[in-house]
Chain A
Amino acid sequence: MIEYLEFSGIIVGWTIALIFLAFFVEWFYRKMMGHMQHRVGPKLAGPIGVLQPIADFIKLMNKEQISPEGTDEFYVDFLAVMGVWLMIFMSFLLPIFSEKGLISFEGDVIFLLALFAVASLMYIITPYLFKSPYPTIGAGRRAELYLSYEIPMFLALASVVFIVGSVSIQDVVHLPYLTVKGIPAVILLIPALIITLIGVMARVKKLPFDIPEAKTELAAGWEAELSGRRLAFFNLLTDLKLVVGSGVIVTFFLGGPLGPMPFYPGWWWYVFWFLVKTFIVIFFITCIAASVARFRIDQVLDLFWRKLMPLSIVQIFIVLWAIW
């Protein structure tokens, strides 16, 4: 019984900590983006504006939600909560406090990737529940984007699983220490890392892949009719996706919570290295987002289907050559 209470406490603590981490990551992204574009970025709420995302969340929660006639109210509310819940549940699988996640079992890699795929559906189904043209067009764009990035990204992650020879996250985090045919495995997997990084950027709709929003063309696209607490939750979902997406990259390619030193004095040491690596990935994503303009939908399809897709298949064949 005490074991279950302790586990419940850890789950509650991590859920709340993750939500605040997501707010911090949003501030980090906006602040870095501001500096890179010669702006100040958030600065009013809290020291150097660090509380701005929390202030935005509270403000949105206190605003009245308005939706067009004929909207399926219950399902919009349900999907808003479900999307955030999926991301939090995904984070339990990430190896943050030790070499395995809070929830760990054989085959957890497959479960993690399946959850990642399902979470994208929230952005596609929710706009379609509004009887409004802008969200419908945004949902269509989002669906096209999803269909294009999904296969290359999963093939890239599958190549990691092939080379490690295990579908357990506990084994996947040891990738940086693995050598195949005298070559470090991470060197062989550089194309997969590039594909996954671009895939995660498309997944979290960061520039240059913010096509479903396209504020100047579609009036925010899929989120045009979201307001109040729904918008607050979908913004939180996007922030969580950035955290968890970066966490997936760290887990699959950068050794997860394993640091360069051989000693591990406690769980905080794992958390420290996991967060350091995650913020490096987020910084890299921010740099790309700040320096590239938005793609057109045909350019995105061209990038994923004609360039990254063949690259991911080449990556699979490289891995097959390595493990044979």
Chain B
Amino acid sequence: MDIIQAIIALITPMIILIIIYMFGKKSKRKTGREPYVSGHKFPATRIPYNPAWLYYLSFFILWDIILLFILFTVAEASLIVITSLILLSVTMFLYPLMIRGGGKK
């Protein structure tokens, strides 16, 4: 597979999907933004959630993918694999404790 085929594979489905999406009906009414789909009419609000978990999640996914690369490029058991597994084990035990601690607050 060369670079042109890769570009074709990337772009072609996107074009098809955009065309299908454009066939869909857009919002025409000026008041189309209210009320909520759920039927209630109250001002838009965001619940006071600390979005820190979003950053944590981004970090986690990055860590996850890097770990995958390490795991897969090491075809045999080595210090890196063992260390990664220990890290995972520590994470496994810490995460439920964190959830429980959050619940008590």
A residues adjacent to B (C-beta < 8 A): 4, 7-8, 11-12, 15-16, 60-71, 77, 80-81, 84-85, 88-89, 92, 102-105, 107, 109-110, 113-114, 117-118, 121, 124, 128, 131-134, 136-137, 140, 143, 146-147, 150-151, 154-155, 158, 161-162, 165, 167, 219, 224-229, 232-233, 298, 301-302, 305-306, 309-310, 313, 316, 320, 323-324
Q: Chain B's nearest CB lies how many Å from the CB of A10? A: 10
Q: Chain B's nearest CB lies how many Å from the CB of A112? A: 11
By the criterion CB–CB under 8 Å, are B13 and A11 in contact? yes
Among candidates A64, A151, A226, residue contacting B32 with C-beta atoms closer than 8 Å = A64
Contacts of A301 in B (CB 8 A): 95-96, 99
**Chain B interface bracket (under 10, 10 to 19, 20 to 34, 35 or more):** 35 or more
| Binary interface encoding of chain B residues 1-44 relative to chain A, with 1 for a CB under 8 A from any of its CBs, else 0 | 10011101110111011100101111111001110111000011
By the criterion CB–CB under 8 Å, are A12 and B16 in contact? yes
Closest chain B residue to A223, Cβ basis: B37
- For the residues of B in contact with A, the DSSP-based class is helix
By the criterion CB–CB under 8 Å, are A81 and B27 in contact? no
Residue of A134, A151, A161 with most chain B CB atoms under a 10 A cut-off: A151
Given known A-B contacts A68-B33, A103-B1, A136-B46, A323 and B76 have beta carbons under 8 A apart: yes
Residue of B32, B60, B68, B73 with most chain A CB atoms under a 10 A cut-off: B68
Contacts of A110 in B (CB 8 A): 68-69, 72
Q: Chain A's nearest CB lies how many Å from the CB of B80? A: 13
Among candidates B6, B44, B72, residue contacting A158 with C-beta atoms closer than 8 Å = B72
Given known A-B contacts A11-B13, A66-B32, A117-B61, A131 and B44 have beta carbons under 8 A apart: yes
Contacts of B34 in A (CB 8 A): 68-69
CA distance A113 to B17 in the complex (A): 23
Given known A-B contacts A313-B85, A313-B88, A114 and B68 have beta carbons under 8 A apart: yes
